[in-house]
Amino acid sequence: MFRFAGALAPWLGGLCLLCLIVGLYLGLVVAPADYEQGDSYRIIFIHVPAAWMSMFVYVVMAVSSAIFLIWRIKIADVVAVASAPIGAAFTAVALITGSFWGQPMWGTWWIWDARLTSELLLLFLYLGYLALRGALDSPQSGAKAAAILAVVGVVNIPIIHYSVEWWNTLHQPATITKFDKPSMHISMLRPLLIMVLAFQLLYFYNLMIRVRTLILEREGRAGWVAKLAGESHG
């Protein structure tokens, strides 16, 4: 896994950079202004991918935690703990950019809307996961408690996704998943999808880097690490 992550990371980073350049150019320069929101809508090219990734990363973390709890596979725990700060960052970006959009559109930076509140809860779940890992005396106990929290907290993901349909909310309904009847013009939808791909690649790039770091931290005394260090100096 260590060598695989190291080989894959540069490719993921390069593709991510390419998608970011293309997506931002198409979204900020080529795409026309919205007939209602003007240029204010362009924040969606950051907000929507960040919001999508905040949920995607949590699902990865929850599934990895479940695998760790059931089969005690160590690499699954590594993937979960490596994903947590990345997911928390995506969630924070989604909340901040949402506030920037909400101020001119709704006249307020924040409202206790169902979608916003459940997204804020997601941030607390990420932070709670990270806090639990260091709160207990035993690292094994902390890992198990955090994994349980991750699995239980996954119930919040469908709440976030369907909140605009279940409750009366100010947040606009789904746009990116309505491929049968898109509510965005193709000139806006295309860069949005490219930015979603860019953020996906950004996650996997950072995941590979963090997985390598965590493996080195956990296996620092192993013989293969000493051999690897010897090869790098040799």
Average predicted confidence (pLDDT) for the chain: 88
- For residue 130, pLDDT over 80 is answered with yes
pLDDT at 230: 58
Overall average pLDDT of the 135-141 stretch: 89
Structure confidence by residue, pLDDT tens digits, 147-195: 999 999 999 999 988 877 765 665 566 655 554 555 678 999 999 999 9
Lowest mean per-residue pLDDT among 18-22, 64-68, 150-154, 171-175:
171-175
pLDDT at 62: 98
- For residue 144, pLDDT over 80 is answered with yes
Give the 3-state secondary structure of the chain: CHHHHHHHHHHHHHHHHHHHHHHHHHHHHHCCCECCCEHHHHHHHHHHHHHHHHHHHHHHHHHHHHHHHHHCCHHHHHHHHHHHHHHHHHHHHHHHHHHHHHHHHHCCCCCCCHHHHHHHHHHHHHHHHHHHHHHCCCHHHHHHHHHHHHHHHCCHHHHHHHHHHHCCCCCCCCCCCCCCCCCCCHHHHHHHHHHHHHHHHHHHHHHHHHHHHHHHHHCCCCHHHHHHHHHHHC
pLDDT at 179: 46
Structure confidence by residue, pLDDT tens digits, 82-96: 999 999 999 999 999
Structure confidence by residue, pLDDT tens digits, 203-220: 999 999 999 999 888 876
